Amino acid sequence: MVEVEGFSTQGEDPMGKALAFLVALIAGVVVVGWVVSSLIGPALFYLIVGALAIAGGFYVYGKVKKSIAPGTRTQRRIEAAQKTYRMRNR
CB-CB contact of 2 with 9 (8 Å) = yes
Task: Look up residue 90 and give its DSSP letter.
Answer: -
Q: What pLDDT is stored for residue 67 in this prediction?
A: 81
Q: Against a cut of 0.75, is the pTM above it? A: no
Residue among 21, 20, 44, 19 nearest 33 (CA): 44
CA 30 – CA 8 distance, rounded (Å): 35
Q: What pLDDT is stored for residue 72 in this prediction?
A: 80
pLDDT digits (tens, 9 = 90+) for 41-86: 888 888 888 999 999 999 999 998 888 788 888 888 888 999 998 8
The structural domains of the chain, with segments of one domain joined by +, span 1-40, 41-90
Highest mean predicted confidence (pLDDT) among 12-16, 18-22, 54-58: 54-58
Please determine, for residue 12, whether its predicted confidence score (pLDDT) is greater than 80.
no
Please determine, for residue 8, whether its predicted confidence score (pLDDT) is greater than 70.
no
> In sequence order, what DSSP letters do the residues of 12-76 get, joined into one string?
S-HHHHHHHHHHHHHHHHHHHHHHHHHHH-HHHHHHHHHHHHHHHHHHHHHHHHHHTSTTSHHHH
